[in-house]
Amino acid sequence: MNKKRPLQAEDLLEYEIVSDPNFTPSGNAYTYVSTTINEKKEYESQLFFQKLDSNQRQQWTFSKNKNTNILISPDGKKAVFQSDRSGTQQLWLLPMQGGEAQQLTKLKHGASNPIWGPDSNTLIFSAPIEPEEDINNLTEISTEEKDKEQKELAKRPLVVNRLKYKSDSNGFHDQKRSQLFVLDIRTGNLEQLTNAPADHLLQDVSPNGNEILFIANLREEEDYEQVDDLFVLERSSKKVKKLTDSKCTYQRAVYSPDGNKIAAFGHNFTYAGATLTDLYIFNTGSYEKSNLSAEWDIQLGDAMIGDTRLGKSESGPIWAKDGKNIFFLATDYGVTGLYQVNLTGELDVLYKGSHHVFSFSYNGHSDSFILGISTPTNPCNFYHLKKNGEFNRLTDFNSALLSKLTLAEPETITVPTMDGEEIQGWLLHPSVYQDGEKYPMILEIHGGPHAMYGQTYFHELQLLAAKGYVVVYANPRGSHGYGQEFVNACRTDYGNGDYTDLMEVVDYVLTNFDFIDKDRLGVTGGSYGGFMTNWIVGHTNRFKAAVTQRSISNWLSFYGVSDIGFFFNEWEHGLNLLDDPKKLWDISPLKYAKNVETPLLILHGEKDFRCPVEQGEQLFITLKHLRKEVEFVRFPDANHELSRSGKPEMRIERLNHICRWFEKL
């Protein structure tokens, strides 16, 4: 029997992360995407097929690329998927009976998000295109030509004339916009359906194939707004009808099986970015809207924070085969589960445990579900849930690796606060734990702030426990999972109630767990958690080491350098830069740099456009000039997603730097 060992940072390279489970039309099998890190330390995604009554899986793709987003045609004879094997992400066709994949699109800028038409012969998809480009003369270019083009562009100045000119996910924007296309796979005929100067986000195709549902902001004020409207495009005439009033934002819109209704997630910004998501129903005859979730107090969708999720995940809404119920994931009290609602708003829980349901697929023939589930000690597996409640595990991913590791099961804590709130959190014991010994503790703080820690696998937390630390993580006010009032409670109050919540969590565990050494405390967090780490070390010296990641130090400059700064300050602080700069400075950690006595490690990605690297630079230079103990690590080519989907070697470097710094405890 193998002796178990503590987790290592490099174990990140060994995980198999699965995503996007999808039933075949018959309901007796399913497909999914598996992402691993190959010998070149690059992400590689492959497509798999597995029957429900078999433990054996069939691998459908083998190219050392990213093969994703597989969809089987309604007639069950073929499948479309996305792949970058040609050098650009394109659509490929795979016959179900076996054989080589056939490349369907060869567009210069690629293609994505395909949806089958009901005839199984047409595909509707999205593709970026510049305003004057002609799709008939827009063929895919080679990797060498693409590199040459990029080098030429790098020599030219960037002309900026839009407010939204960059994003953390895509870098600097150009003139390309995502348009909708339809492809006849029999003839190869390709037709462009939209051309407005805006991104068109494909949502669904009506059951009769005559209408296409998409989301966009087609208003002249689009550059200054965060709203997104729902539109219907009539295939034959290409006429576009707007369904909504430009006062909300919508996502994940889908037709009912009979085409008479549309279900969509959305919210009206009542609490800005802290507004809970609602479930809306539109009648396709009158397009009247009703809110099924008006009386609920839960966050729809998946708000769980983790660092091992990769790939596409379905959170709903999905219609039942009879059109009388709708299925979706929701986030509540540290877990995500599968829910059902009927058209009168009656809500039922179909599956909810001490787990993270990260994706699901529904099949009308079998009236059952495949659930993708993560637990605190297992990154991912698939399960079969029948409507009668029967629940079976289908897979055993990562079992060889996990059988070698000593992993920590979290202990749930509930911390009463002085102002009457209850803060949910968790504690991981160190893997070397022995009764009677004292151990250093690290407080982890999540980003968002409107997100949630919970019952999911978290490599970084397990690594710190493996290194001998007690790890404490909690959901202070501002977190999702505890209702609208709670998630809104940190807005216009950063550094006050949220800071007090975290300090009361620390006080609670020091009082109730006598194996924690109160003189050896560390703190770390990223994004909002980085802001809070910076705030903490400027307001207390109780921590002996701190690591701030992709953080915010100065809200004044954040307004102008972040891809979201121009609206985020108003959303979260109720402040605009020119209206009251003093108040923004008062809640900026940089103001309190003279108070910092805690050794601070600053980690930041060079290409982070969400919390730009200048935020880390300002803090480092100020502390260094004050002769404080501080170190700055800058990660090349890394954006805000470094810890979750950054280059594998950089992710490991980041983890090793964190562990190195906390050796000071």
Task: Give the active site residues.
Answer: 527, 640
Beta-bridge partner residues of 33? 19, 47
Contact predicate 316/252, CB 8 Å: yes
Count CB neighbours of 420 within 10 A.
6
Contact predicate 438/510, CB 8 Å: no
Q: How far is CA 97 from CA 45, 85, 388, in A?
A: 22, 22, 33
Cα 50 to the center of its chain, rounded Å: 26
Give first-to-last CA distance, the chain, whole Å.
35
Q: How far is CA 325 from CA 147, 348, 384, in A?
A: 50, 10, 19
Tokens of 467: 């290194």
Determine which helix (DSSP H) or strand (DSSP E) holds 399, and give its type and residue range: helix 399-402
- CA-CA distance, 10 to 2, in Å (whole number)? 19
Which amino acid would we find at residue 311? G
Beta-bridge partner residues of 177? 129
E runs forming strands in 461-587:
470-474, 516-526, 545-549
Q: How far is CA 14 from CA 4, 8, 35, 62, 644, in A?
A: 16, 11, 11, 18, 15
φ/ψ of 347, rounded to 5, equals -100, 135
Count CB neighbours of 3 within 10 A.
6
E runs forming strands in 401-460:
405-406, 411-416, 422-428, 439-445
Tokens of 499: 């800071």
Nearest to 57 by CA among 37, 79, 40, 32: 32
- CA-CA distance, 354 to 507, in Å (whole number)? 26
Tokens of 32: 């999914």
Tokens 């060994």 sit on residue:
14
Question: Is residue 157 reached through a cis peptide bond, with omega within 30 degrees of 0 on the bond before it?
Answer: no
Determine which helix (DSSP H) or strand (DSSP E) holds 264, and give its type and residue range: strand 261-267
